[in-house]
Structure 1
Amino acid sequence: MTKMLRYILNNLAGYLRIRVEGYSPERFLNLCCYHGIFLWNLRPAKGAYEMNIRVRDFRRLRPMVRKSRAKVRIIQKRGVPFFIHKYRGRKLFFTGSVIAICLIFLLSSFIWRIQIDGNLARTDEVLLSFLTEKGIACGMAKKNVDCDRIEKDIRMEYDDIIWVSAYVHGSCLKIKVRENPDRKELQTEAEAEAPMDIVAEADGIIQKIITRKGNPLVREGSEVKKGEILVSGSVEVKNDSDEVTGYQYRVSDADIIAQTTVAYTDILDRLHPVWKDTGKKSWRFWIETPGRLYLFGRRELPYPEYNALTCRYTLYLERHFPFPVSVRVERSKESRKEEISYTDRQAREILSYNFEKFCARLEKKGVQISENDVKIYRETNRYSAKGKLVLSGPFGIVQKGTVHELPKADAENIQQEGN
């Protein structure tokens, strides 16, 4: 029997905490062991011993007490029977306890939470909305949850989800999914009916180009304009006479490094708003149930401008058994807007920090800064950081190309030659 199960059974049956003292309490303990009387939580206490004993075993102690000349005294009475006897006159208390137990049993037969794990391409709200359309939502009975059907519906609706597991744990419906991020790319490649070209996103000079798929139209050192095709997804198919007989369409893929020049501008107004607390506070409370929200407190705050912090607390009986009730607590502080002017030092620090963040984002994309001509200027009512940057990094964007059609005469000649 496990320790927890023994603890529950002892509390249900009731037990006593006793104190044994006298001439030879050790002999009393030996006699109890010999007659199979179970004692636990034995502790020495100032020349005596304190221990727990079942009620039915306590009634058998008289012979052992007589033989050992020990004195036994009851210190505490513990367990459900003694608790009921102590509060037997409080009928409302026991009636409320019975009702609470019945409510817990009733609420445990419903789903009060849906947890989704493993979804990266879509948010929880998208999947929950889809489940709601299929009749799966918080508040539904557990017996109506068909986990196999949920798994099948999700796989049929979303092609990139390759594995789904749905099961009920407590009052929570847990859904785990696994996505294949490469599946859409494979389908796009297999079902390509039009060429996908790589075009220049800005003016620049090609420094390096490595083509894996497609027909490269530029080489290292070429100067290109914005919108110019760098790698074409249309590959010509020619016969022995070097005549074009058709085209094969592909999704272009290439590593292109180019040098570009971009203009950087960042404006900072001299005056900026600052919100300051006046010290006035206000609290509001809501109780939220499925589909309803109950407000306790003022419906409208006594001040027009304020900052609010709202916290939501869900009530749990245990970790996997949330109650269908949550509490919202809002703390509001009155704030007033003031216009404050930046000092020259503050403005330079802010603009420099913004520029460093901009450069850090470029570095994460693999872009290197070859030349930097950005400077900070002080104007009448604002500060500005302006200049040009010479960048070297990944270049080109993928966009849909043009489907080529052969002239009718050429198509007829090619068909006749084939016949």
Structure 2
Amino acid sequence: MEKLIYFWKGYIKIRIRGEQTERFLNLCRGRNICVRKLLRHPDGELTGIIAIRDFFLLGPLHRKTRVRIHIVEKHGMPFFFYRSKKRKAFFLGILLWIGLFIFLSGHIWNIHVEGNRRCSTQEILDFLEEQGVVHGISRKKVNCGRLAEALREEYPEMTWVSVKMEGTSLSLEIREGILSEKKEESTQNAFSLAAEKNGKIVKMITRAGVPLLHVGEVCKKGDILVSGELELKNDSQEVYQYQYVKADADIYIQYKQAYYHEVPLAYQAEVFTGKEKRGVSFRAGNWCLAFGEKAEKGFERSIEYHPFQVTESFFLPVSYGKIIRKEYKKTARKYTEQEAKLLSWEILQAYEKKLMEKGVQISANNVKIEVDHETCISKGSLEIIEKTGREVPIERREQPEERTTEND
């Protein structure tokens, strides 16, 4: 920090000669004049660094001790500006840079969204664009409170939204939960729950409605599992009124899903030769300029952009990227039996992972992998447990007529 202050205020390297150099240094110390990096040479000379302000205080000391002081070097911003006073374009560039810096710091150049799962980031960015919030908007035009309120109104599943500005970055933190009451109000009509696939019921928890099928029974697609129609009976077990509710239940069915996949043993492999071609790309908004990029067959292209960042939260709307193109050649190859089985197993695992991401459970895997001369075949079935219950409307019946008893 001290070096930076000296450079900003300017400093001078001086050479001191004479018979009373020690007295000269004592006088400097008594007047709080600091001489840094003081060195004594074999011929008795002294060299050191002194600030510009302190240099002008050496006159009386110079006359008392009759030492000779010579300026060896000049450093710092004051001397730099003095030498550059005729360079008008240089100072104009500095003023333009300062103006550009002030302009860029007053706008939003980075919009960061986190915590969203149901709503994609691009969907949220499109909604912000409809609200007039885009990259490059002035910070003064962004109302964080109103923006958070608009997001909650547009997406009822968002239970909490935080919008804050940090430098030139706009951060949106989102928490999603259960649907709001507005969405629930749209489902006030009564309905029943029907099976979406053929299968066997393995679990059922009914909260509202009348279960028509139970655990262990087999259902077909379209069968009513839980009815939203309630029959109210009197003491004689006669129905005197029908009531209709929204059926609510957690129903899980088990069924078999066929699986079949082929992996040819012969394939074309892309073998990299080790030859690379590099280039540079600059991007500002929708404008892009690339150097060293050429469309050629047999090359795999990759590019990674890095935004220019002044501080942790101050992003400039300009980024640079490194272009790497690696040469490859296609070569005919053939999987071994072990490699083909391993690849087929990985494909099966990826398929199961996609199913589980949809909320299903896999209770058993009955897939067999066999290899012949040309193909590796995976075939069999998966036993899947999945939640079911499709809402279907209820055909309302006429209410039973009231019965009266006559007394003789």
Same fold (TM over 0.5): yes
Give the alignment's TM-score, normalised by structure 2: 0.77
Q: Deviations over 1:362-394 (max 9, x none)?
A: 789684645x543322335311122345x4x74
Q: How does 1:118-129 map to 2 (within 5 A)?
A: 118-129=115-126
SS at match of 1:377: strand
Q: Deviations over 1:124-163 (max 9, x none)?
A: 3222222222222223334433444433433332333344
One-letter code aligned to 2:270 = W
- Aligned positions, number: 399
In 2, Cα distance between equivalents of 1:20 and 1:176: 63
| 327-336 or 276-285, which deviates more | 276-285
Distance 1:35 1:280, change over 3 A: closer
Query: CA RMSD for the aligned pairs?
Result: 4.2
Distance 1:162 1:97, change over 3 A: same
Distance 1:353 1:13, change over 3 A: closer
Q: Deviations over 1:223-269 (max 9, x none)?
A: 33444443x1514041425416223322522264x554443333211
Indicate if the aligned counterparts of 2:14 and 2:71 stay in contact, CA closer than 8 A: yes
Q: Which runs of 5+ in 2 are unaligned?
A: none
In 1, Cα distance between equivalents of 2:142 and 2:289: 29
Q: How does 1:252-331 map to 2 (within 5 A)?
A: 252-254=248-250, 256=252, 260-278=255-273, 281-297=276-292, 301=295, 303-331=296-324
Indicate if the aligned counterparts of 1:213 and 1:250 stay in contact, CA closer than 8 A: yes
Indicate the residue corresponding to 2:127 in structure 1: 130
Distance 1:310 1:269, change over 3 A: same
In 2, Cα distance between equivalents of 1:155 and 1:200: 32
In 1, Cα distance between equivalents of 2:262 and 2:241: 56
Give the alignment's TM-score, normalised by structure 1: 0.76
Query: Aligned to 2:99, which of 77, 102, 126?
Result: 102
In 2, Cα distance between equivalents of 1:327 and 1:63: 58
SS at match of 2:320: strand
SS at match of 1:274: strand
Q: How does 1:2-401 map to 2 (within 5 A)?
A: 10-16=6-12, 31-32=27-28, 34-37=30-33, 39=34, 53-64=50-61, 76-88=73-85, 90-172=87-169, 174-184=170-180, 187-188=183-184, 191-195=187-191, 197=193, 199=195, 201-204=197-200, 206-230=201-225, 232-240=226-234, 241-243=237-239, 245-254=241-250, 256=252, 260-278=255-273, 281-297=276-292, 301=295, 303-355=296-348, 367=361, 369=363, 373-389=366-382, 391=383, 394-401=385-392
In 1, Cα distance between equivalents of 2:403 and 2:106: 72
One-letter code aligned to 1:122 = C
One-letter code aligned to 2:242 = G
Indicate if the aligned counterparts of 1:109 and 1:171 stay in contact, CA closer than 8 A: yes
Q: Deviations over 1:342-368 (max 9, x none)?
A: 222221222234445566777896846
In 1, Cα distance between equivalents of 2:152 and 2:254: 45
One-letter code aligned to 1:192 = Q
Q: Deviations over 1:303-354 (max 9, x none)?
A: 3343110222322333333333233443333444343222222212222344
Sequence identity percentage: 26
Indicate if the aligned counterparts of 1:131 and 1:137 stay in contact, CA closer than 8 A: yes
In 2, Cα distance between equivalents of 1:141 and 1:396: 48
Q: Which runs of 5+ in 1 are unaligned?
A: none
Indicate if the aligned counterparts of 2:251 and 2:388 stay in contact, CA closer than 8 A: no
Indicate if the aligned counterparts of 2:230 and 2:242 stay in contact, CA closer than 8 A: yes
Distance 1:304 1:189, change over 3 A: same
Indicate if the aligned counterparts of 1:213 and 1:254 stay in contact, CA closer than 8 A: no
Indicate if the aligned counterparts of 1:194 and 1:403 stay in contact, CA closer than 8 A: yes
The alpha-carbon deviation at position 283 of structure 1 amounts to 4.4
Indicate if the aligned counterparts of 1:110 and 1:139 stay in contact, CA closer than 8 A: yes
The alpha-carbon deviation at position 406 of structure 1 amounts to 1.1
